[in-house]
Amino acid sequence: MKLRKILYAASFCLLIFSALTLDRLFSSSGSSAQVLQVNNPTGAQKTNAASDWQQKVDGRVLSALAAGQTEFLIYLKQRADLSGARDLATKEEKGRYVYERLTAAAQATQPNVLRKLAQLGARHQSFWVSNTIWAKGDVTVIQAVASLPEVAAIYPNGKGALKLPPQTNVASSTKASDGSSTANLSAADPNPEPGLVKTNADDAWALGFEGQGVVVAGADTGVRWTHAALKNQYRGWNGSTASHDYNWHDAIHLPNWPAEPLNPCNPGGVLGAGQPSPEPCDDDELLGGGHGSHTVGSMAGDDGGANRIGMAPQAKWMGCRNMSNGVGAMTTYLECMEFFIAPTKVDGTSPDPSKAPHVINNSWGCVEGCPPEPNPLRDSLKASRAAGIVYVASAGNDGTPGPAPGCNTIYHPLARYPEAFTVGATTHTTDVIADYSSRGPAAADPENPTAPLYIKPNISAPGSAIRSALRGSDSEYGSLSGTSMAGPHVAGLVALVISANPALAGNVDRIEEIIEQTAAKKTTTEGCGGDTSTQVPNNTYGWGRIDALAAVQLALEGVDTSLVNYALTTLGSVPSA
Q: What is the pLDDT of residues 28-70, one digit of tens each?
A: 333 334 456 665 555 444 445 557 899 999 999 999 998 889 9
Q: How far apart are CA 323 and CA 466, in angstroms?
A: 22
Secondary structure class of 279 (helix, strand, coil):
coil
Please give the pLDDT value at position 568: 54
**Strand-pair category, 459-462 with 421-427:** parallel
pLDDT for res 288: 74
CATH says 199-571 is which class? alpha beta
- Looking at residue 258, its pLDDT comes to 73
Cross-sheet strand order for the sheet of 159-161: 327-329, 159-161, 366-368
- Would you list the domain boundaries of the chain? 19-157, 199-571
Average pLDDT over residues 333-354: 97
* Contact partners, residue 29, CB within 8 Å, separation at least 6: none
Quick one: 135 exposed, middle or buried, by C-beta within 10 A (0-12, 13-18, 19+)?
Answer: buried
- Strand boundaries in 385-499, DSSP class E: 390-394, 421-427, 432-433, 459-462, 466-469, 477-480
Q: Indicate the range of 23-32, 83-92, 402-411 predicted with least confidence.
A: 23-32
Cis peptide before 166 (omega within 30 of 0): no
CB atoms inside a 10 Å sphere around CB 569: 9
What is the pLDDT at residue 273?
A: 66
Q: Which percentage of the chain shows pLDDT scores above 70?
A: 82
Q: What is the mean pLDDT of the chain?
A: 85
**Which residues lie below 8 Å from residue 33, measured CB to CB, with a gap of 6+?**
26, 27, 80, 81, 84, 101
Q: Which of 47-51, 199-203, 277-281 has the lowest mean pLDDT?
A: 47-51
Identify the residue with better confidence: 531 or 445.
531
Rounded to 10 degrees, what is the CA torsion of 470, 471, 473, 474?
70
- Tens of pLDDT along 166-189? 666 544 444 443 333 223 334 446
pLDDT in tens, 215-272: 999 999 999 999 999 999 999 999 999 999 999 999 998 776 777 777 888 776 555 6
Q: Are 457 and 424 in contact (CB under 8 A)?
A: yes
What local confidence, expressed as pLDDT, does residue 336 receive?
Answer: 98
* Amino acid found at 484: S
pLDDT at 286: 77
Task: Tell me the H-state helices in 211-347.
Answer: 291-300, 330-341
Please give the Cα distance from 289 to 538 (Å, whole number): 34
Predicted local distance difference test score (pLDDT) of residue 168: 62
How far apart, in whole angstroms, are the C-alpha atoms of residue 281 and residue 246? Answer: 15
Residue 325's pLDDT band, with cuts at 50, 70 and 90, is confident
> Cα 15 vs. chain centroid, distance in angstroms?
35
> What is residue 409's three-state secondary structure?
coil
